[in-house]
Chains A and B, each alone.
Chain A
C-alpha cells in the first residue's frame, strides 16, 4: 500500500533514473517520457497492491515490459537477441565512454536492458531476474555477452584518449 506522500517521494527519487533508462532504451525523449508516465500511472492505479519498498523495481519492471512490448510491435521481423551490428575495432582517438555509449546502443534490447540495470542502477542478478522475468543464469549470460560485445567494440583501450 502506497500513500500520496510515498508516491510523490517516488516521483522525486526514481523518475530521473527511470527516464534515463527509458531514454537509453528507446532513443527518443517523447517515447521515454510516455514510458515513465505510464509507469507512474500504473503505480498509482495499483498503489493498494504495491509494497512501498518495491516501488523502484515495480517502476523499472513496468518500463522494461512496456518497452519490450512496443519493440515487438515495431520490429516484428527481428528478434530481441539480434545484434544491430558487428563489433567495430576502429575506434582510435575517441573517448572511451563515448564509444561505450555508442556500443551500448548497438546491443540487442534484452542485453542492453540487463547491463543498464546492472551498471546504472546497481541491481543484483536476482533483482534483474525479478524485473525482466528472465532466470538468474539467463541474466548472467546476457550480461557476460554484453560485456564481451562492449569489450570488442572499444578495441584496444590503450589507443583511446
Chain B
C-alpha cells in the first residue's frame, strides 16, 4: 500500500497558490471577455443564427407565407436542378462576378499606380474617382437609367450626334445588352473604391526596391509585376475577395435599373429570390434559393482564404 504525502514543502505550497491565483485571474479575465462578447453574440444569434436555421428549415417546405408550412423533403432542391430561370440567374451572377471584379480591380490598380507615381493633382483625382462610391446605388441607378433612356438619354443622343445613330438602342430593354449596361454602371460606381484602397496599399511599397529594379534595367511592366504587385498582394487579395462576394450579392443596382428584365435577361440570384419569395409568395422555394446564395458565398469565402494564404 502506498500513501500519498498529505503535505508539501512550503515553497511548493506557495507556487501552487500562485498558480491557482493566476488561473483564477485568467479565468476572471476570460469571463469578463465573455460578458463583453455576450450582447453581440446574442444579437448575432438572434438576427443571423436563428433566421439562417429557419431558412434552412423553410427550404424543405412549401410555405406560401400563410398558415403552417408543409414538409416537402428535398422537392425544392430537385426543382432547383431543373429551374432554367435559376440557372440563367446564376450564370448572370458569374458574368457579374468575373467582369465586375476583373474590370474595376485592373482599372483601379492601374490608376492607383499612376497616382502613386507622383502624378500631379493626385488628391483631386482620388477625390473625383471616389465620389461615385459615396452615392447611393439607387441614385446611381436612376441617373444611369436616364443616361441609357432611349427617348432622351445622353448615350443615344451622343451616338446620334457623332453619326453613330445606328448603334442607338434601348440599352436596358434589349436582352443582349441589359445585363452589361447595368454591370457597367456598377463598375463605374465601384472602381473608385478599388483605387483608394490599392493606393493606400501602395504607400507600403518600398520605393528603394522599385528604384533598384529600375537601375537593374527592369522595364515598367516588369517593375509593376515583379516588384510592386508582390508588395501589395495582401491588399489586392482583400479587394478581390470583397468584390467577388459583393458580386454574388448584387441586387440593388439591378432592381432599380431593370428589375431583372427584360424577360429575366438581367436577373441575378438575389433578384430572382426576391421575386419568387415575395412576389410569388413561394417562401419555401425562396428559402432554397437563399441556400444557393449561401453556398456560393461560402465557396467564395473559401476561395478567398486560399487566395489570402497564397498572397501572404
- Note whether A and B form a binding pair: no
A residues lining the B interface (CB < 8 Å)? none
